[in-house]
């Protein structure tokens, strides 16, 4: 039987923070504002993008968000998860 792997809350939080930083980096490389990205994703305000890029108040991007962002920014989704 395989031992279970333990994931700390801090480890998961750091992963979400890294993803937010990567989204911001690629968004800025495309000279796109948070509002432009939000609108392209189908949102009328920047609240999700703003909070998730900073990983504020436990807000983070989900898989659907990352799929849309990768398509909008024309980057591979794995690039948004890189260290």
Token pair 């998961």 is found at: 12
> Does the pLDDT of residue 52 top 90, yes or no?
yes
Residue 1 lies in a domain: no
The Cα 52–Cα 62 span in angstroms is 10
The residue range of the domain holding 69 is 9-81
Q: What is the C-alpha to C-alpha distance for residues 54 and 56, in angstroms, rounded to an integer?
A: 5
pLDDT of 37 over the 90 cut: yes
Q: Is residue 2 part of a domain?
A: no
Given pLDDT bands bounded at 50, 70 and 90, which one contains residue 56? confident
pLDDT of residue 63: 97
Supply the pLDDT for residue 29: 98
- The reported pLDDT for the residue numbered 2 is 82
| Residue indicated by tokens 């980096």 | 25
CA 20 from centroid of its chain's CA atoms: 4
- Does residue 1 register a pLDDT over 90? no
Residue 76 sits in a domain of what CATH number?
A: 1.10.260.40
Count of CB atoms within 10 A of residue 41's CB? 16
Count of domains forming the chain: 1
């Amino acid at each position: 039987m395989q031992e279970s792997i333990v994931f700390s809350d801090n480890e998961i939080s750091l992963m979400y923070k890294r993803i937010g930083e990567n989204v911001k980096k690629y968004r800025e490389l495309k000279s796109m504002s948070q509002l432009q990205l939000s609108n392209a994703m189908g949102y009328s305000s920047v609240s999700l993008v703003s909070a998730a890029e900073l990983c504020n108040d436990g807000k983070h991007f989900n898989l659907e968000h990352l799929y849309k962002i990768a398509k909008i920014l024309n980057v591979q989704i794995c690039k948004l998860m890189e260290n």
